[in-house]
Amino acid sequence: MKIERASTLGTMPYSLEAEAAVIGAVLLDNEALARVSDLAPTMFYAAFHADAFGTILSMAAVGQPFDVIAVFDAMRAAGKAEQDGLSRLNEMAQFVPSASTIRRHAALVVERHRQRELVRAGLEIAELGASAESAAEQIDKAQMMLAKLATAKSKREPQHINESLVDYLALLNDLSEGKNPAIPTGIDGLDRLLNGGLRRGEMMVIGARPKNGKTALALALARNMARTYSTLFMSQEMPVNQLMHRHTAAAGSHDLGRIMRADPQDHDMWTAVSEAARRLGELRLVHDDQSSLSLLDIRRKALSVKRKHGLDVLFVDFLQLMAGAGEENRNRELDVIVNGIKALALDLQIGVVVLSQMSRKADEHYGRPTMSHLRDSGAIEAAADQIALLFTDWAHPLSKREAAFEGYSELEIVAHRNGPQGLVPLHFNGKYQQITDWEGAPPSRPASVKSASRGMPA
């Protein structure tokens, strides 16, 4: 059989024999292609092999059978056929006595491809070391290259219902024993609507206007989850010190203003800070305060935290502050970003909470906002598993600030892919930066206001 030698293809890791065996196997038995669904043409080292396998995938995608002559004809029509291409395809088809070992050969092709990617990354990192950038920038880029290599997407195969039943009945048994796979948020009303809490692979978007307590709610959820689960909170508008002010006020049940003044004579404040520090020190919580995060930044940092501390939950505050993804317009960029974050949740098997801005139109009527008030709601609605909108009565420009509504907030689940929609009454203590379940019945509004407020609860 005629195959290229290393002298003509360089010194990168490869196995031309394995590549030829895979192509020969699928030419011999078209059905064998289904057993190597993880393979892509870019994983083949020899250009002819990559073109041949790409042509086979294209033919399979439209239901065309592929043998030596059909594949060569398709390659020739696409301008990819070499002079001796027909004889080479024929040799590969005869080179493999059976298609039964195709998985073993495909695994070797993938392994050599990943090794080549590592070599290329090493060469690029070596070039980075000689560039004019600072050492910090060089290290950041090097880590991102390696982080991308470390993320290998797993493909799931179709599963017969009998196999699914085994897993499903095991899940029901775990649920009956109190082993809920959900990650509790610590807000009872929210956990009820989420059937126990946030799930791995899911992304929840929380939208609100400024001053409604969006960040306070996210920080409260992060603290609650971090008691048991490793949590990463990525803030793009507040430095870590400001986040710590808010955490300390909430954990110590003390006035945020007094904590920020740090009066040395305020002994009650220092006692509260000491108690808060003890509680906060027990949390599995990691902060990041880089501004204008890109999708690659989030992936790289999440992978880094996962390696060092484990990672169960990721918070991103907030969506509209993220750097562009190089698309033609901002709407398309945010579409790429939210889908990229959702893909990250699936890849790393973590729960993700993303905060989002709402448009000023939500301030034009007194009442709970709607999904249309979310900025770029189309992209968010398509990618999110849950969308929740936060409304704090006293923060609304048209609020009459009635005493009964002081500290009253509502988190409404307006979209839920795998469960019910509904309302979660909350108590927001801005002084202490605490958000908890509302105790008792929600306050009622006059009938005229209810009808104008899209059916807000009595």
**Is residue 347 located within the same domain as residue 246?**
yes
Query: Which band of pLDDT confidence, cut at 50, 70 and 90, is reported for residue 411?
Result: very high
Query: Which band of pLDDT confidence, cut at 50, 70 and 90, is reported for residue 258?
Result: confident
CB 379 within 8 A of CB 334: yes
Query: Which band of pLDDT confidence, cut at 50, 70 and 90, is reported for residue 456?
Result: very low
What rounded mean pLDDT belongs to the chain?
83
Given strand 203-208, what is the order of strands in its sheet?
A: 285-288, 231-235, 313-317, 351-357, 203-208, 386-392, 408-416, 422-429, 434-437
CATH number, domain containing residue 81: 1.10.860.10
* Mean pLDDT of the 49-58 span: 92
**Is residue 447 located within the same domain as residue 332?**
yes
* Mean pLDDT of the 249-276 span: 86
Among the candidates 114, 139, 165, a domain finishes at: 114
CA distances from 82 to 49, 88, 106, 450 (A): 11, 9, 24, 75
In a domain, 124, yes or no: no
CATH number, domain containing residue 244: 3.40.50.300
**Which structure tokens are listed for 26?**
């699928």
Query: Which band of pLDDT confidence, cut at 50, 70 and 90, is reported for residue 55?
Result: very high
**Is residue 104 located within the same domain as residue 209?**
no
Query: Pick from 457, 31, 422: which is nearest to 194 by CA?
Result: 422
- Residue corresponding to tokens 């203003």: 257
Query: What percentage of residues in the chain have a pLDDT greater than 90?
Result: 30
Among the candidates 114, 142, 161, a domain finishes at: 114
Q: What is the C-alpha radius of gyration for the chain, rounded to an integer number of angstroms?
A: 28
Domain count, the chain: 2
Summarised one tens digit per residue, pLDDT across range 288-330 is 988 888 887 888 889 889 888 999 999 998 787 887 655 566 7
In a domain, 426, yes or no: yes
**Is residue 102 located within the same domain as residue 232?**
no
Q: What is the DSSP string of 328-376?
A: SSHHHHHHHHHHHHHHHHHHHT-EEEEEEEB-GGGGSSSS---GGGBTT
> Does 7 score more than 50 pLDDT?
no
- Residue 205's pLDDT is 93
Residue 455's identity, in one-letter code, is G
* Mean pLDDT of the 53-71 span: 89
Distance CA 208, CA 204 (A): 13
- Residue 3's pLDDT is 41
**Is residue 238 located within the same domain as residue 377?**
yes
**Is residue 288 located within the same domain as residue 381?**
yes
Higher-pLDDT residue of 432 and 375 is 432
**Is residue 318 located within the same domain as residue 200?**
yes
Distance CA 129, CA 154 (A): 33
In a domain, 148, yes or no: no
Reduced to 3 states (helix: H, G, I; strand: E, B; else coil), residue 379 is helix
In a domain, 169, yes or no: no
CB 283 within 8 A of CB 226: yes
* Mean pLDDT of the 394-418 span: 88
In a domain, 179, yes or no: no
In a domain, 52, yes or no: yes
Query: Pick from 419, 415, 438: which is nearest to 206 by CA?
Result: 415
Q: Which has the minimum average pLDDT: 4-13, 151-160, 346-355, 429-438?
A: 4-13
In a domain, 141, yes or no: no
Q: How many residues does the chain have?
A: 458
Among the candidates 71, 87, 114, a domain finishes at: 114
**Is residue 96 located within the same domain as residue 245?**
no
- Residue 376's pLDDT is 63
> Does 114 score more than 70 pLDDT?
yes
> In terms of C-beta density within 10 A (0-12 exposed, 13-18 middle, 19 or more buried), how is residue 346 classed?
middle
**Is residue 93 located within the same domain as residue 197?**
no
DSSP state of 202: -
Reduced to 3 states (helix: H, G, I; strand: E, B; else coil), residue 442 is coil
Q: Which has the minimum average pLDDT: 330-339, 345-354, 448-457?
A: 448-457
Q: Which domain holds residue 366?
A: 188-452
In a domain, 91, yes or no: yes
**Is residue 281 located within the same domain as residue 368?**
yes
**Is residue 212 located within the same domain as residue 105?**
no
Reduced to 3 states (helix: H, G, I; strand: E, B; else coil), residue 316 is strand
